[in-house]
């Protein structure tokens, strides 16, 4: 019996994304955080310094393909939880926010190590190249679609 290796398509990418996201959301729930909060907080944590609120909103909107108003609600939630702080329009991660991101990264890192264990480096590299190209093309298609409104 011969089996054909599956090819990458939107369904395969979506299934992999949602499986991995479910793992992350499980970890986040234990810490009282949501996926959009983690993405927003991480953007502030990895920034070289404070971020202008509009720049943070634009960055997260682009990453999550969501409405800027939803990102502003998420920023407000993080400010209320003390995970972000604001000085006028400048937003930065607090020490508590940095600790949360580090904790979540450590917990998900252990799970990710098990998920990716045994996959040859060349397969991971090929997958990375394919996903980067798909992302680039999908972003271009989305830009074209949204400019037609």
pLDDT tens, residue order, the chain (149 aa):
556 777 889 999 999 999 999 999 999 999 999 999 999 999 999 999 999 999 999 999 999 999 999 999 999 999 999 999 999 999 999 999 999 999 999 999 999 999 999 999 999 999 999 999 999 999 999 999 988 87
Judge whether 48 lies within some domain. Answer: yes
Q: Does 90 fall in a domain? A: yes
Distance of CA 126 to the CA centre of its chain: 21
- The whole-number pLDDT of residue 92 equals 97
**Inside any domain, residue 58:** yes
- CA 30 centroid distance within chain: 18
pLDDT of the residue at 40: 98
**Within a domain: 128:** yes
Report the distance separating Cα 39 and Cα 45, nearest Å. 10
Q: Measure the CA–CA gap between 81 and 64, rounded to whole angstroms.
A: 21
Q: Where are the alpha helices (DSSP H) in 31-94?
A: 35-46, 53-64, 68-80
Edge-to-edge order in the sheet of strand 51-52: 51-52, 90-93, 84-87
Within a domain: residue 36? yes
CB count in 10 Å sphere of residue 64: 15
CATH of the domain at 75: 1.10.10.10
Measured CA distances, 35 to 41, 97, 99 (Å): 10, 14, 16
Predicted pLDDT of residue 147: 87
Q: Which domain holds residue 110?
A: 20-136
Residue 7 domain-assigned (yes or no): no
Judge whether 64 lies within some domain.
Answer: yes
What does the alpha-carbon distance between residue 87 and residue 107 come to, in Å, rounded to a whole number?
31
Tell me how many domains the chain contains.
Answer: 1
């Amino acid at each position: 019996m011969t089996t054909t290796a599956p090819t990458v398509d939107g369904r395969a990418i979506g299934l992999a994304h949602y499986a991995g996201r479910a793992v992350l959301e499980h970890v986040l729930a234990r810490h009282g955080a949501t996926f959009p909060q983690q993405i927003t907080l991480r953007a502030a944590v990895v920034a070289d310094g404070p971020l202008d609120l509009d720049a943070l909103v634009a960055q997260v909107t682009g990453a999550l393909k969501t409405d800027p108003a939803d990102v502003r609600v998420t920023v407000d939630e993080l400010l209320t939880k003390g995970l972000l702080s604001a000085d006028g329009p400048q937003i930065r991660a607090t020490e508590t926010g940095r600790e949360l991101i580090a904790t979540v990264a450590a917990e998900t890192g252990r799970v990710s190590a098990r998920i990716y264990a045994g996959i040859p480096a060349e397969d991971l590299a090929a997958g990375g190249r394919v996903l980067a190209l798909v992302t680039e093309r999908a972003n271009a298609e989305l830009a074209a679609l949204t400019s037609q409104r």
